Amino acid sequence: MGRPSNREARRAEILEAFARVLADHGYAGATIAAVATEAEVAPGLIHYHFEDKEDLLASLLSDLVARFRLRIRDRDELDPLLAYVDGALRLDDLADITAARCWVGLFAEAIRNPTLFKRMRKLIDAEITTIRARSGDRLDAHQAGAVLAFIIGALILGAFAPKKTAGFAAPGLRSLIASWNTD
């Protein structure tokens, strides 16, 4: 009987290292060498698990989306839209500052990378549809877009001034949504 493969575990460790380096140094600073140092592996091992830096980036995007879906699902909120807002913005024991900074890095890199831009654009369109559905169609497409813009803006602002902005975003967006529901 052979040893069980640790391929998926090693791949996850490398992806976590890439996320930390991206969050701390941006995409340009997230070199294969820097990721290898962070993961405490040889650079060749990274290339064994990932084709290139672009593959790391695509894998990170998929991982961030999956983890966000889990954050939303694990909320005890009765209103699915408010669970989405809290999953995206609430600073609680489920908050992941590294993930938030990675989102900012992904958006920044998408401006320069046409392939990533298309993936992010598709994700944004899907999230607007998701927000509308979670609102029970109380929000129109423009309002759902505004919710997403608020979330993305809060992530960016929080990445640059976390102590100055901590805790305002989720309650602020909840208030905005409540005002739309009373109009």
For the chain, list the domains and their CATH numbers.
Answer: 53-182 (1.10.357)
pLDDT of residue 64: 93
Q: In this structure, are residues 21 and 30 in contact, taking their beta carbons and an 8 Å threshold?
A: yes
pLDDT at res. 151: 92
DSSP 53-92: HHHHHHHHHHHHHHHHHHHHHT---SSHHHHHHHHHH--S
- pLDDT at position 4: 57
- Tell me how far apart the terminal alpha carbons of the chain are, to the nearest angstrom: 67
Return the structure tokens found at 98.
Answer: 């590294």
Q: What is the predicted pLDDT for the residue at 72?
A: 83
Main-chain dihedrals φ then ψ at residue 29, nearest 5 degrees: -80, -10
**Cα–Cα distances in angstroms (integers) from residue 29 to residues 46, 109, 148, in the given order:** 16, 12, 28
What's the chain's average pLDDT?
Answer: 88
Residue 139: predicted pLDDT: 93
Distance separating alpha carbons of residues 95 and 109, to the nearest angstrom: 23
Say what the pLDDT of residue 38 is: 96
Place of tokens 């698990």: 49
pLDDT < 70 positions in the chain: 1-5, 76-77, 92-94, 164-166, 182-183
Q: What is the pLDDT of residue 35?
A: 96
Rounded CA-CA distance 133/152 in Å is 19
| pLDDT number for residue 91 | 74
